[in-house]
Amino acid sequence: MATVSIVKGTYSDLDIETLLAPLGGMGRFVKKNDNVLLKVNLLSTKGPEKAVTTHPDFVRAVAKVVRKAGGNPYIGDSPAGRFSKRYLKKAYTRSGLADLAKEKEIPLNFNTAIKKLDIPEGKRLQRSPICQYAVKADKIIALPKLKTHSFQYMTLACKIMYGVVPGLTKAKYHAQFPKKASFADMMLDILTIVKPQLYILDGILGMQGQGPGSGDPVKMDLVLGSTDPVAMDIAVCKILGIEPVGIPVLKRAKVRGLWPEKIDYPIQRPADVAYKGFRLPNTADHLLTGKRPPRKSPVISDKCTACGDCESICPKNAVKVQGRMAEVTYSRCIRCFCCHEVCPENAIMLRSVELN
């Protein structure tokens, strides 16, 4: 049986020990001198108020409990786009994690080395490059953010470890696995070789609407803890009133026999903290309406500054900067929405368009 602890909390009164008590406390997962990776969501270079990245106050609270258990925490992730020291520095700074690291002397990962690992239980991938910052950890505590995702509908615990795939390999996998189900399967493959001991979800300031990079922050005051990412994501869906198998990665988890037989909720049940009116991305309207949605495509707005980030990440060379603005060739586009995810100006909308 899986256990999911659910508490209400804010960044100023976060009680990680109470959350973890029903799971056996931090001492069950972290031993003296363990090097503990705090695997944050560091999608892009956005401030904590945008709800794109795991909040620094959340990371602070978890790191404190890790240290109390005798562990040595360090922070790491591979953002979307290039996995370079320069980009990491920018993302740590903007997300507030650089200040936290300085204040609490928590190391930030700048090692961009990768290692190729076999995936013996892989359904879609038999081998993949994986970031060394994750491979070298004695223990991993994943700190996902509660966010919507225009391609996979939600990004929660099952998706957080996609960040151990280095930078642009992530975009390559979008081209290799353009369907929602095959992409979800690939993410589950990664989870079979890089397995966090514990997941603690930051749903205090969540994101609704057009996530994961440019949705709307929403105060939810939710914190969840579990050793089982599927159980955690099912719990979030129940809180939000979403049918769990509507989320591609959860459907594939069900098909692959990863579904928990029963979930125990020792503190609060999802119904106790139900959140009404949560807005999914417009690509997922059908999860609430039951109607088939029109196909959405990226549309560049006049907010575009021609920075070229979308062009760099596009796995199909379908978006190019032409003069002062990016332009999409829809006949090439596979609607992975990586461009939408990384655009620093929130200049890319997802709309129904006529193909060019």
Pick between residue 266 and residue 308 the one whose CB is nearest to ligand SF4: 308
How many residues lie near ligand SF4 (CB under 6 A)? 27
Secondary structure letter of residue 125 according to DSSP: -
Nearest approach, Cβ of 343 to ligand SF4 (angstroms)? 3
Nearest approach, Cβ of 283 to ligand SF4 (angstroms)? 11
Pick between residue 111 and residue 322 the one whose CB is nearest to ligand SF4: 322
Helix, strand or coil for residue 224? strand
User: Applying CB under 6 A, does 348 fall inside the site for ligand SF4?
Assistant: yes
Pick between residue 139 and residue 174 the one whose CB is nearest to ligand SF4: 174
Distance CA 307, CA 300 (A): 13
Helices 248-255, 229-240: axis angle to 10 degrees equals 130
Match 């970031």 to its residue by tokens.
131
| Residues between 16 and 55 that touch ligand SF4 (CB under 6 A) | none
User: Applying CB under 6 A, does 350 fall inside the site for ligand SF4?
Assistant: no
Distance CA 39, CA 304 (A): 31
Helix, strand or coil for residue 68? helix
Nearest approach, Cβ of 183 to ligand SF4 (angstroms)? 12
Structure tokens that stand for 299 in this block: 């549309």
Pick between residue 199 and residue 337 the one whose CB is nearest to ligand SF4: 337
| Residues between 300 and 319 that touch ligand SF4 (CB under 6 A) | 300, 304-310, 314, 316, 318-319
Question: C-alpha 230: how far from its chain's center?
Answer: 14
Distance CA 144, CA 161 (A): 9
Residue 292's CB is within 10 A of a number of other CB atoms, namely: 8
User: Applying CB under 6 A, does 349 fall inside the site for ligand SF4?
Assistant: no
| Residues between 318 and 337 that touch ligand SF4 (CB under 6 A) | 318-319, 321, 326, 328, 333-337
Selected binder of ligand SF4 within 46, 155, 298, 349 (CB under 6 A): 298
Helix, strand or coil for residue 118? strand
Distance CA 212, CA 3 (A): 27
Nearest approach, Cβ of 314 to ligand SF4 (angstroms)? 3
Q: Which helix (H) or strand (E) holds 128?
A: strand 127-131
Closest CA relative to residue 319, chosen from 209, 46, 335:
335
Pick between residue 71 and residue 298 the one whose CB is nearest to ligand SF4: 298
Nearest approach, Cβ of 308 to ligand SF4 (angstroms)? 5
Nearest approach, Cβ of 296 to ligand SF4 (angstroms)? 9
Residues that bind ligand SF4 (CB under 6 A): 298, 300, 304-310, 314, 316, 318-319, 321, 326, 328, 333-339, 343, 345, 347-348
